[in-house]
Amino acid sequence: MLQTVLSSLVRNFLGHSPTWYKRTVVAFLVLNPVLFLLSPYLAGWALVLEFIFTLSMALRCYPLQP
């Protein structure tokens, strides 16, 4: 049962996004607490840059309709 729940969570994470986009978001989620432990100032700037990056890459994954 646990394996099916875990596999369905992994499969449904971020819908039909490309795998590289899902991995990037997960990497950011793992990296943020580590950066915060090193330096909250650095973590704040990293969050701003990650936000801009994920927004721009979301437009690449899901282009706006004309």
pLDDT digits (tens, 9 = 90+) for 12-49: 887 777 888 888 889 999 999 999 999 999 999 999 99
Q: Which pLDDT does position 1 carry in this prediction?
A: 64
Say if residues 51 and 32 touch (Cβ distance below 8 Å): no
Please enumerate, as own/partner, the contacts of 59-63 that have beta carbons within 8 Å and a separation of 24 or more. 61/17, 61/18, 61/21
Please give the DSSP secondary-structure letter assigned to residue 65. P
Say if residues 49 and 9 touch (Cβ distance below 8 Å): no
- Cβ-based neighbours of 31, under 8 Å, separated by 6 or more: 46
